[in-house]
Structure 1
């Protein structure tokens, strides 16, 4: 079954699915998931409205490697999050996510949670590609003026960083500076990384392709989204900063100055000058073609080549081979990342000799990644401290993490006699140096 899932899959990132024909108890008893209810700690009532006052169905929630499981009171089960981030243990999605990686993720979800792609109905889908652009990413973002006839707007999100987007009725176009985003979170990113995404918020365009379930998506083959990605990039009204002004006439110099201003284009559209909009758009393309380095075309070429490269078939598609490679890869990366012995989260921001998440790390996650902080809080903070001040919560969290580590040591000493080799030690001794 898993080998049938092996197709051109690297473009897939965020998904939201409804899992059909699964009993909630299968997930509720899974030791990898720690479910919690959204309740009012004062009244003890379940939360029934969101921050905007809109009615919501009560649910139990759990997170694992960046994926969020929800079991609603109605019995509906949803799964949402980034498959790409899952591959990176929930940390990021700025590296490549190729066929082997997708195969591993699908295999892992099937093994750990009994999730069958045939029973996963798509409700939201993101298709995206990471590239090293021909010019600095910020320069590209600044010069993406419109998508079709809608202006780009800068957005700031604590989880996604700063990016530009245009929202259409059925999908959203997003462009990110991924390198800058993850550098601000403490990751060592050495190159420019631009990410271009299509987020399908309604499924009509996807359903029209015969795609309803996750299995349908795999069978369709994400290589077939290549043309759609390139066409949507082509639909970006892009002002090329490399236009050489000197060879242009006075009239063209004035036009170029106007063309670089997004308000000029939105003004044409606002005044119902659609013919003028189309005419001047063609004029800009002619100027770019004759007087610039053609940054948009170069970017499209890089996207095309990157999609082809990531979709190239590999020799090793055996899930067991991939799994063993993944274990070694994680072991090597984890030793470099400096992980907390209890929570498993990165503590590179703390002193080199620290082994547990402490006040410094907790404050770091509170500032840079609230989702991780809340996850730690739910697991390691007693509910009696939930309404206390921030400093008290930090103190109690650090204290409970230390206690958990001490309890784990006591438990290990009871199970393993002195000098006895554990399975982990045996595994580590066989790892290549």
Structure 2
């Protein structure tokens, strides 16, 4: 079933990992000077490697986990037996309960799926007769004690080896697997694998089994049972050429037209080669493919009782990932920080109202309506009653803070002229305040965007926040710029301000663009 996995940014409490009794994080230090040579800290547990990688923002760590789920389930000893859907359920439960993984938000970057197939004949018969896969020959991994045969494609790797020989088993066990390097490999294949909890999506198991069997059937094998004496001259020529892996290669020095012609010829000859195998061979490849199909079906069989347990565990894990409250404030259990961001709990994205909102306690300035782009949705606290929120925003930036005018979220250490919450801050919010992140996602993501990967969702949220603000006056400003372009190079009789009387909304857009490359001279 599933085996190797890589998650580059696990949704988990870093402080809890550092104090977990099963993990001891070390780092590379110069023995003489004590200087840290590599800031990345590593720990190992039962076949999994944990890496704490400092974030580029300088705040906190990114948790990366890589290793074998199958081996982890077996206590780190081996992955040579059968790994079932029930075993997978117990594995994920350990990750959620022992380490605090948020299985719903931990995005999978690489995954392996495959089977350990017990054959009635030596595995060497399969490996020794490998020719190619999609006209690409298999390479042998020279770094392993036993031969690993791999065909490296752009998005995935087809891999097989003698698992019985590797583990010293008496049985003939073939390991056949697909290692997905880019999750786009699953696009259009009926498989949805995004986060860890998706590994228990039973609807994926059928399409994954089809992928596995079809991939094995598409491999070109030789068959030593064929006696060339039974072949005519033309058949013998096709067979001798086809069993040579180099024959299926398309030379790189061909023109586009020549390459297309060459591939068409190879396709015809491949069909003729397979016809020879079917007619004169022993059809052992079909036998192995049947074992692959049978083994996968046995591993992924889910009865009603197991399905009920899966649903119960999912509900439990969901509750583990929900924020709890402290003194009336929501606090995420998967936060890297223990200090509550009070400024981020004082606006309309939350379902509760804190008893005191500290700096943001004065009523909104009456002169600004809520449709005005300068209105942030957050009351301004100023000793000067005539001071606008825009002036206050500039003042806050000078003081090292700012407030996003759309969401009202406090922006600490903003960049010069930064007004909106950034992608990086949204990613951090997903870990430090899950409730607020979900509220942002519900408000600013469309249907297709909501189904994107985590990185893309954060990008869309930030992008749509800026659009929400700018779209209030973009169309009027486009008309204004169009008018200016139409009179460019001419001596106008009247100034633009005399022709077009800006509304409060248009004037706000003009003021917003002052000093930028999009400034409108009005």
Distance 1:114 1:23, change over 3 A: closer
State the match for 2:156 in structure 1. Answer: 171
Contact conserved, 2:250 with 2:263, CA < 8 A, in 1?
no
> Do structure 1's residue 258 and structure 2's residue 241 form an aligned pair?
yes
For residues 211-249 of structure 1, give each alpha carbon's deviation from its aligned partner in whole angstroms, at most 9, with x where no partner exists: 321112322433330111112112212222222334222
Deviation at 1:311, TM superposition (A): 2.0
The residue aligned with 1:381 is none
SS at the partner of 2:157?
strand
Q: 2:81 is matched with which residue?
A: 95
The 8 Å contact of residues 116 and 176 in structure 2, kept in 1 or not, is answered as yes
| Local SS of the residue matching 1:119 | coil
Aligned to 1:145: 131
* Range with greater deviation from structure 2 (138-147 or 63-72): 138-147
1:247 aligns with 2:230: yes
Distance in 2 of aligned mates of 1:215 and 1:146 = 35
Residue ranges of structure 1 left out of the alignment (5+ in a row) = 1-10, 49-57, 184-188, 321-433
Question: Could you tell which deviates more after superposition, 248-257 or 222-231?
Answer: 248-257
1:276 aligns with 2:265: yes
State the partner residue of 1:76: 62
Match of 1:30 among 11, 17, 20: 20
What's 1:203 paired with?
183
Residues 348-368 of structure 1, C-alpha deviation per residue, up to 9 Å, x if partnerless?
xxxxxxxxxxxxxxxxxxxxx
User: Residues 136 and 248 of structure 2 are in contact (CA less than 8 Å); yes or no, is this contact kept in structure 1?
Assistant: no
1:293 aligns with 2:273: no
Q: Report the alpha carbon displacement of residue 274 of structure 1 after superposing the two structures with TM.
A: 1.4
SS of the counterpart of 1:117?
Answer: coil
Write the distance in 2 (CA, Å) between the matches of 1:123 and 1:113.
19
Corresponding residue of 2:213: 230
- Separation in structure 1 between the aligned mates of residue 244 and residue 300 of structure 2, nearest angstrom: 38
* Distance change in 2, residues 1:22/1:286 (3 Å): same
1:313 matches 2:329: no
Partner of 1:214: 196
- Give the superposed CA RMSD: 2.4
User: Which residues in structure 2 correspond to 1:80-159 (within 5 Å)?
Assistant: 80-158=66-144
Q: Which has the larger radius of gyration?
A: 2
Are the equivalent residues in 2 in contact too, given 1:131–1:194 (CA < 8 A)?
yes
Residue 162 (structure 1) aligns with: 147
Aligned CA distance change for structure 1 residues 251 and 84 (closer, same or farther; 3 Å): same
Work out which of the residue numbers 173, 194, 202 in structure 1 matches 2:174. Answer: 194
Verify the 8 A CA contact 2:53 2:63 in the aligned structure 1: yes
The alpha carbon displacement at 1:45 in A equals 3.2
Q: CA deviation at 1:279?
A: 1.6
* 8 Å contact kept, 1:256–1:284: yes
| In 2: Cα distance, 1:23 partner to 1:250 partner | 69
Q: Distance in 2 between matches of 1:42 and 1:228?
A: 54
Q: Check conservation: 1:269, 1:277, Cα contact below 8 A.
A: no
Q: Size of the alignment, in residue pairs?
A: 295
CA offsets per residue over residues 319-365 of structure 1, 9 Å max, x none?
79xxxxxxxxxxxxxxxxxxxxxxxxxxxxxxxxxxxxxxxxxxxxx
CA distance in 2, matches of 1:41, 1:221: 50
Partner Cα separation in structure 1 for residue 97 and residue 112 of structure 2: 24
Which structure 2 residues correspond to residues 283-432 of structure 1 after superposition, within 5 A?
A: 283-313=272-302, 317=306
Aligned partners of 1:313, 1:260: CA distance in 2, in Å?
41
Which structure would you say has the larger RCO, counting Cα contacts within 8 Å and 6 or more residues apart?
1
Shift of the 46–99 alpha-carbon distance from structure 1 to 2, 3 Å rule, reads same
Q: 2:150 touches 2:157 (CA, 8 Å); kept in 1?
A: yes
Unmatched 5+ stretches in structure 2 = 56-60, 311-522
CA distance in 2, matches of 1:269, 1:282: 23
What is the TM-score with the length of structure 2 in the denominator?
A: 0.53
